Structure 1
C-alpha cells in the first residue's frame, strides 16, 4: 500500500495512501487529532471508511499538526492531502525515541495502514477507543446541557465520555450528563440520523448495551410513524412530511450497486433450483455437535463442505471469464465467499483456499469471519478475490431467490429457509425439514448439464450426508 508525502517549507503533507484493492477514495469518519496536537510516528490520526471497511490511518511523521485536510463526512480521493505536519523546532520538544519519519517511508515502502506497519511507536500510539462494553449514563441532563456538543476525547488511559455520547464500563462519567436514549458509537450512524432528521433520543438501540446501530436508524426511516426531528430547510416546502428522502449512493452502497449492475450487464446468468429434504443434514449436524460440543458446526459450515465437494467434481463453476483475453480461468483453489448482511450493507468476506480446511476449521473460520464482517474489522483484502459464493438467504425467512452473481465469479449457491413440509418418504407421506437450493451460474463457463450436475450433487449430499464420505 502506498502513501505519498509532499514537503513545503519544512512542513510534511501526508497524502491519503493507496488503500489497495482498487479503492480510489475514502470518507473521513473521525479525526483522532486536532490542529496543534503533537503526534508521534505511526500514531493513528484519522479513521476513514472505504467501500470495503473502516480503518485507522497512522501518520508516518512526528511533529505538530498544522492542517487537517477535510472534515468528518467528507470524501477524499487517494493521493490528495490528508494531514500537514510541521517538525518540532530544535528537536527538544519531539517525543523521545522517535525519528521524524519511519525508515519505511525513507525507503518508500509506504506501508502506513494499521496492521501493515512495523510497530515503531506502538508503545506510544493512542489506544483506539473500545467499541463494545458500554454502560448507559444518567438521564437527568437538562435541555441546555443536552443540546451542547460534547467535544471530549479519549485520553491516554482510555477514559471516554464523548463525543459518541457514551461512557465506557469501568469509567466514571465526567462533565454534563447525557441521555442514555442516544447511545451511539458510530459517527456514520450519527450522520445518517442527522441527514434524515431522525431524533436519536426516540430510538431504542438493538446493539450491545442498547447501542443505536445503523439498522435502527434505517428502520426508523422505513416506519410510517417514524418520529423525526425538525431540521430547518429554507428550500423545503411548507407542507410537513411531503419531502422525498434523498440517500446519497456512496461507500458500500455505491460499490454494491456498481458491482451488481456490472454483473447483470456482463454475465449471461441462469438460475436453476430444487427442493430438498434437509432432515438428514440436520440430524448429522446434531450428531457432530453432540460428539464435539466444544467445537460445534453450523448448517452453513456443512453446506460449505458440500459445495467444496461439488466444485471438486465440477471445477467449471469455480472459474471466471477474462473478457479482455477471451478465455475462461479455472481457479486452482476455492476461495469461498460467504454473503453476510451487515449494518454497512451486503458484504462477501472470502475464505481463501477453503478446500484445505476441515469441517471443524470451516465452522470456526465462518463464525469468526462473519462476526468480523458485521463488526467492520475485516481488512479490504478479505472482501475480494472470491471464486464461488454461498448465500444463506433463508435467515431472512424466504424460501427462494434468483441471486445475482458476485462479479467476476461464475456461480453462486443460494439456500432458503428450512421449514416443515409434507414430503413423500418410501411411498408414504411424512413431515420433513425441507429447503430450496438455487444455483445461479454464468452460461459462458458451462452449459446446463454441468450446472445441473453440481446442483444435484449438492442436493443429494444434503438429503444423504453420508455421500460426502463416498465423494472424498
Structure 2
C-alpha cells in the first residue's frame, strides 16, 4: 500500500469546502512529474489548476469531469506499475469508508436513504420504543443542545430518532458527526436502525428485477438509471474499465421505449416553451449562502449622501490629458477616497468575527471592488489602498478586473478585505443599497453622477451630483460613526486634491 498515493482536492482558500472537476489534462497510464498540470478544479469563485504534488504514474481517475468532491476527496490514484488493480480497489475502498467524502460526494445515494429509514409521516420514537426494526437506546435519546458540528443528513436523522448528537463522537473532518457515526453509536449502545427501503421504481416489461447496487457504474449513470427506473443489469457496459456510463443508460432508455417518439416530439415542438430551468452553479450558490447569512444575521442600517464631483471630474480630465499612460475612472477616485476616509475613521476599517464576537481593526485599508461576472459577483481587493497613488489604484483595479473575468484570481486576491465599493453608476443606476460582505461591517453603494440643480449662495446652479449609500452592521457601527465616515469621504471626493498629497 505504500506505493499507492491519492491525489486529493486541495483547500485553496479558507472558505473552500468542495471543488468540481472540469477537465483532466493527464490521462490514465501517463507518468507525471511534480508541478505538472493534472486537472482543473472549479470552486465557488474561480477555476484552479491542480499541479502534481509529487512524481508518479496516474493509474486511476476517480472523479470524472462534472463531479463535485469535498476538500480532501480523492480525485485520482497514483501507483507504480507493479501495483495490481485489486490493490488499488482495496485502497479506494478504504478511502470510501471515511464518512466525509461519502456524504458530500453522494448525498443522494449514501445519506438520504438512511436518513429516510424512519417514515417522514411517523412521529419520532419515544424512549425504549422501536419503529419497525429501529431501536434507539435510552442512553442516546434526548434533544441536542449547544453547537454540534454535524452533516445535514445526520442532523435530520437525529431529529427523527430523537437522538442527542452531543453524546456521539464525530469521526469526520474536524470532528464532524456523520450519518455513519449515528449508526455506529446506536449499534454500539445495543440498538438498531432499520435498513433503508428499496427505491420505488416503475415496473417495466422485460426489466431485470435483480439488485443492481453492485453493478459498476459511474455516479451520473447510476443517478440517471434511478430516475428512469432502469435496472443497471439491463445496460450494456461500454464505459472505461467496464463501467456502465450515461450513454449505456440512454441506450437502455431507448430500448424500453422511454424516449419520446418522433410524432410526439413533433407535437411537443409545436407547443411553446413557457420557461427554462437553470441550475445554480457553484459561484451562485456561494453568493446566495453568504449574502443570505449576512442579510439575516447582520442588522443592516443605511446612510445616504450626495457628493458633488465637478472638481473631481475636472482633475480627472486634466490628469488623463497630461499623463498618457494613466486613464483614471471616477471609480478609481472613489476607491482611493474610501481608503483615505477609512484611515481617518479607523473604527469602520474593521472585520467582525462571528464566532469569537471580536472586532479586528486593521492598520491599512484593503478595499474590495465588486466585479460583475456572467456567473455572479466577485470582490477582488486593492491592498493598502491608503498608501497607493491614484495611478497605482487604477492600475491595480484594472489588473484585478481582468483576472476576475478570466477566472485567474488567486484566493488571497479576493478573500478578506476591510471595506467594499459596489458601483452601478456605469449602468445608469442613480442610487441603491448593497448587502454587507462578511466579515466586513460596511459596504458603499455608488450610483451615477448626474446633473442636478443645487442651491449655492442663494442661487440655483447646475452641479454634477453622485449619490452614495453606506450599509452598516449595527453591531459594530452606530449611526454617528457611519455619518463621520461619509463626512470624511465627502471631503476627499469634493476636494480631490487632498488625495494627491
Q: What is the CA distance between 1:276 and its match in structure 2?
A: 2.4
Counterpart selection for 2:70 from 51, 56, 77: 77
Distance 1:463 1:78 in 2: 48
Partner of 1:393: 424
Cα 1:445–1:12 shift into 2, 3 Å? closer
Q: What is the CA distance between 1:241 and its match in structure 2?
A: 4.2
Q: What is the CA distance between 1:54 and its match in structure 2?
A: 0.8
Distance 1:14 1:382 in 2: 26
Q: What is the CA distance between 1:423 and its match in structure 2?
A: 3.0
Partner of 1:343: 374
Q: How does 1:349-428 map to 2 (within 5 A)?
A: 349-428=380-459
Distance 1:45 1:455 in 2: 49
Distance 1:58 1:321 in 2: 35
Q: What is the CA distance between 1:311 and its match in structure 2?
A: 1.0
Distance 1:382 1:36 in 2: 36
Partner of 2:121: none
Partner of 1:196: none
Distance 1:406 1:432 in 2: 32
Q: How does 1:430-469 map to 2 (within 5 A)?
A: 430-468=461-499
Distance 1:241 1:35 in 2: 45
- 2:441·2:477 contact (CA, 8 Å) conserved in 1? no
Q: What is the CA distance between 1:251 and its match in structure 2?
A: 1.1
Distance 1:349 1:444 in 2: 25
Distance 1:241 1:409 in 2: 47
Partner of 2:3: 10
Q: Runs of 5+ in structure 2 lacking a partner? A: 84-258
Count of matched residue positions in the alignment of Structure 1 and Structure 2: 322
Partner of 2:156: none
Q: Would you say 1:291 and 2:284 are equivalent positions? A: no
Distance 2:398 2:487 in 1: 27
Q: What is the CA distance between 1:461 and its match in structure 2?
A: 2.8
Partner of 2:355: 324
Q: Would you say 1:308 and 2:301 are equivalent positions? A: no
Partner of 2:277: 246
Normalising by the residue count of structure 2, what TM-score does the alignment of the two structures yield?
Answer: 0.60
Cα 1:58–1:326 shift into 2, 3 Å? closer
- 1:400·1:437 contact (CA, 8 Å) conserved in 2? yes
Cα 1:403–1:305 shift into 2, 3 Å? same
What secondary structure is seen at the aligned counterpart in 1 of 2:38?
strand
Q: Would you say 1:50 and 2:43 are equivalent positions? A: yes
- 1:62·1:87 contact (CA, 8 Å) conserved in 2? no
Q: Which has the higher contact order (CA 8 A, sep 6+)?
A: 1
Normalising by the residue count of structure 1, what TM-score does the alignment of the two structures yield?
Answer: 0.63
- 1:63·1:88 contact (CA, 8 Å) conserved in 2? no
Q: Runs of 5+ in structure 1 lacking a partner? A: 1-7, 91-231
- Residues 149-195 of structure 1: CA distance to partner in whole angstroms, max 9, x if unpaired? xxxxxxxxxxxxxxxxxxxxxxxxxxxxxxxxxxxxxxxxxxxxxxx
Of Structure 1 and Structure 2, which has the larger fraction of its residues in helix?
A: 2
Counterpart selection for 1:66 from 52, 59, 67: 59
- 2:30·2:57 contact (CA, 8 Å) conserved in 1? yes
CA RMSD of aligned residues (A): 2.6
- 1:422·1:431 contact (CA, 8 Å) conserved in 2? yes
What secondary structure is seen at the aligned counterpart in 1 of 2:20?
strand
Cα 1:434–1:340 shift into 2, 3 Å? same
Larger mean CA deviation between 269-278 and 403-412 belongs to 269-278
